[in-house]
Amino acid sequence: MKALFARTRLILQMIKFEHTIFALPFALISVILASRQQHGLTATSLVWILLAMVGARSAAMAFNRLADAEIDAQNPRTAKRHIPAGLLTKAQVGLFLLASIAVFEVAAWRLNMLCFLLSPIALACVLGYSYTKRFTSLCHLFLGFAIGIAPIGAWLAVRGHFDVIPLLLGAIVMLWIGGFDIIYALQDYEFDVVSPLYSLPKRLGKANALLVSRLMHALMIALLIAVGVLSGLHLAYFIGIVVVSALIIYEQSLVKPNDLSKVDLAFFTLNGWVSVSLFAFVLLDSLIRH
């Protein structure tokens, strides 16, 4: 039993389970907005939405670690990850991957038939991202797109049909995640240059890649405003946009082409606050309305 707990702890470390906080608040924002005119949401449905989110993300991270095991072993920054370091075997991670996929598929089935029918496509997107860095410099956008499925799926779980609002939320997540993944990729610039991998910093240079990241985040803010207008949200939400904008600006100010010492603060800490803050203000706006 002790060995099982130890292995579980290693797996949770490997998939960085705490980073679920990046996309989860946006899925919950989508649930709140979808539920305003749809009163069929139950606590059970919410649990299945959360399980679908956790299952999909866990599967994506496990698959990424399997797909990149050899690459990680060659990169000094990632050589100590669990598979190349020998802390976990590929078989162990593979079993966790299958379990995560099962959780996701069962959750999608329990939500509604549309979610279940679309689940293989969603799964292909979140798993397929791992290979995009092998053939395109736009891999950062593919990562954002894969994670941006979360608010779209959450909306479908509540409403059972597509709408413009979840698509905008998905685009917001794509631009936000893609923008800060470019920042994160700056750490691997030297390795990418001498390897057959692709990234925007490698293709455009560090300074130009940072400029693209900033443009993506600016467009993200514009789309947040559009969501507020189209959804008829009120002052609390738009105050939230101001807070999020300030966090994004601060995040961008921390990273320079020749100074990556604060990447962890920009990537991990501030981005967690971005998603949680926006969710808090959407929730506040909803409570005020009622």
Beta strands in 16-131 (DSSP E): none
pLDDT above 80 for 17: no
State yes or no: pLDDT of 155 exceeds 70: yes
DSSP alpha helix (H) spans, 160-205: 164-185, 189-193, 200-204
Find the domain containing 235 and state its range.
Answer: 2-289
Residue-level pLDDT at 73: 94
pLDDT the model gives residue 39: 59
Is 23 a residue whose pLDDT tops 90? no
Orientation angle between helical segments 24-35 and 139-159, nearest 10 degrees: 30
Burial class (CB in 10 A: 0-12, 13-18, 19+), 154: buried
Q: Using pLDDT thresholds of 50, 70 and 90, give the confidence band for residue 177.
A: very high
Backbone angles phi and psi of 16, in degrees to 5: 50, 60
Looking at the structure of the chain, the number of domains it has is 1
Instruction: Tell me what pLDDT residue 40 has.
Output: 60
In this model, does residue 132 exceed pLDDT 70? yes
Of 24, 28, 15, the closest CA to residue 65 belongs to 15
- Residue whose structure tokens are 């989508």: 30
Q: What is the mean pLDDT of residues 96-123?
A: 96
By the 8 A CB rule, do 167 and 152 touch?
Answer: yes
Q: Determine what percent of the chain is predicted with pLDDT higher than 90.
A: 78
Q: Which tokens sit at 7? A: 């292995």
**Residue for token pair 């397929």:** 128
Average per-residue pLDDT in the chain?
A: 91
Q: What is the pLDDT of residues 227-278, one digit of tens each?
A: 999 999 999 999 999 999 999 999 999 888 887 777 776 667 788 889 999 9
CATH code for the domain in which residue 201 is found: 1.10.357.140
Give the pLDDT score at 15: 77
